[in-house]
Amino acid sequence: MSVAGSPLPVAIEPERDPHLVAAVEEAGGIVVPLDRARVLVWIGDPAEFPDLADTVEWVALKTAGIEGFRAAGVIDGNRIWTNASGFYAAGCAEHALALLLAGLRQIDTSVVLGWNDDVIPPAVRTLRGATVTIIGAGGIGRELTPRLSACGAWVVAVNRSGTPVEGAVRTATPDQLDEVLAETDHVVLAAPATAETRHLIDDRTLALLKPHSWVVNVARGALIDQAALGRALRDGVIAGAALDVTDPEPPASDDPLWECPNLIVTPHIANPAPGLTREMAPWLAENIRRFTAGEKLISVVDPAAEY
Amino acid sequence: MSVAGSPLPVAIEPERDPHLVAAVEEAGGIVVPLDRARVLVWIGDPAEFPDLADTVEWVALKTAGIEGFRAAGVIDGNRIWTNASGFYAAGCAEHALALLLAGLRQIDTSVVLGWNDDVIPPAVRTLRGATVTIIGAGGIGRELTPRLSACGAWVVAVNRSGTPVEGAVRTATPDQLDEVLAETDHVVLAAPATAETRHLIDDRTLALLKPHSWVVNVARGALIDQAALGRALRDGVIAGAALDVTDPEPPASDDPLWECPNLIVTPHIANPAPGLTREMAPWLAENIRRFTAGEKLISVVDPAAEY
pLDDT in tens, A67-98: 889 889 899 989 999 998 777 889 999 999 99
Half-sphere exposure of A282 (CA within 13 A, CB side): 5
More confident: A15 or A305: A15
Specify which of A2-16, A262-276, A278-292, B192-206 reaches the highest per-range mean pLDDT: B192-206
Contacts with B110 from chain A: Cβ below 8 Å: 264-267, 269
How far is the alpha carbon of A168 from chain B, nearest alpha carbon, in Å?
Answer: 15
Contacts with B120 from chain A: Cβ below 8 Å: 266-267, 269
Which of A91, A114, A122 has its CB closest to that of B258?
Answer: A114
Peptide bond into B211 cis (omega under 30): no
CB contact under 8 A, B258 and A91: no
CATH topology agreement for domains A8-86+272-293 and A88-265? yes
CB contact under 8 A, A98 and B99: no
Res A265 pLDDT > 90: yes
Residue B248 sits at the chain A interface (C-beta within 8 Å): no
- Would you state the pLDDT for residue A1? 41
Per-domain residue ranges for chain A? 8-86+272-293, 88-265
Q: Which residues of A12-31 are buried (b: 16+ CB within 10 A; e: fewer)?
A: bbeeebebbbbbbbebbbeb
Residue A257's closest chain B neighbor by CA?
Answer: B114
Contact B262, B237 (CB under 8 A): no
Residue A110's closest chain B neighbor by CA?
Answer: B266
Model confidence at A2, in pLDDT bands (50, 70, 90)?
very low
Query: B 270-289 residues with CB below 8 A of A?
Result: 272-274
Contacts with B267 from chain A: Cβ below 8 Å: 110, 115-117, 120-121
Consecutive 10-residue averages of pLDDT for chain B (307 residues): 73 94 95 97 94 95 86 91 85 96 92 75 73 94 97 96 94 97 97 94 98 96 98 96 95 92 92 73 93 93 71
- Would you state the pLDDT for residue B119? 61
Contact B215, B209 (CB under 8 A): yes
**Does the active-site annotation cover A105?**
no
Contacts with B212 from chain A: Cβ below 8 Å: none
CB contact under 8 A, B269 and A146: no
List strands edge to edge, sheet with A58-61. A29-31, A8-13, A39-42, A58-61, A80-82
Residue B263's closest chain A neighbor by CA?
Answer: A111
Model confidence at A282, in pLDDT bands (50, 70, 90)?
confident
How far is the alpha carbon of B118 from chain A, nearest alpha carbon, in Å?
Answer: 10
Contacts with A252 from chain B: Cβ below 8 Å: none
Contacts with B101 from chain A: Cβ below 8 Å: 94, 97-98, 101-102
- What whole-number distance in Å separates Cα of residue A107 and Cα of residue A101? 8
Res A136 pLDDT > 60: yes
More confident: A305 or B62: B62
- Would you state the pLDDT for residue A129? 86
Superfamily of domain A88-265: NAD(P)-binding Rossmann-like Domain (3.40.50.720)
According to CATH, what is the number of the domain B89-265?
Answer: 3.40.50.720
Which of A183, A196, A249, A306 is catalytic? The answer is: A249
CB contact under 8 A, B265 and A114: yes
Query: B 112-131 residues with CB below 8 A of A?
Result: 112, 114-117, 120-122, 124, 126-128
Q: Which residues of B137-155 are buried (b: 16+ CB within 10 A; e: fewer)?
A: bbbbbbbbbbbbbbbbbbb
Q: Which residues of B50-85 are buried (b: 16+ CB within 10 A; e: fewer)?
A: eebeeebebbbbbbbbbbebbeeebbeeebbbbbbb
- Would you state the pLDDT for residue A66? 83
How far is the alpha carbon of B109 from chain A, nearest alpha carbon, in Å?
Answer: 9
CB contact under 8 A, B94 and A101: yes
pLDDT in tens, A165-195: 999 999 999 999 999 999 999 999 999 899 9
Superfamily of domain B8-86+273-292: NAD(P)-binding Rossmann-like Domain (3.40.50.720)
A:B CB pairs within 8 Å? 145
CB contact under 8 A, B94 and A128: yes
Percent pLDDT > 70 in chain A is 94
Mean pLDDT, residues A57-69 taken together: 89
CATH T-level assignment (fold) for domain A8-86+272-293: Rossmann fold (3.40.50)
Q: For residue B216, what is the enclosing H or E element?
A: strand B214-217
Contacts with B108 from chain A: Cβ below 8 Å: 107, 111
- Would you state the pLDDT for residue A302? 82
Q: Give the active site residues of B.
A: 220, 249, 268
Classify residue B248 by its DSSP letter.
S
Query: B 176-205 residues with CB below 8 A of A?
Result: none
Query: B 135-174 residues with CB below 8 A of A?
Result: 146-147, 149-152
Classify residue A32 by its DSSP letter.
-
CB contact under 8 A, B98 and A120: no
Residue A248 sits at the chain B interface (C-beta within 8 Å): no
pLDDT in tens, A97-120: 999 999 999 999 888 888 876 665
- What whole-number distance in Å separates Cα of residue A72 and Cα of residue A66? 10
Contact B7, B24 (CB under 8 A): no
Mean pLDDT, residues A43-52 taken together: 94
Complex confidence, ipTM? 0.82
Residue A207 sits at the chain B interface (C-beta within 8 Å): no
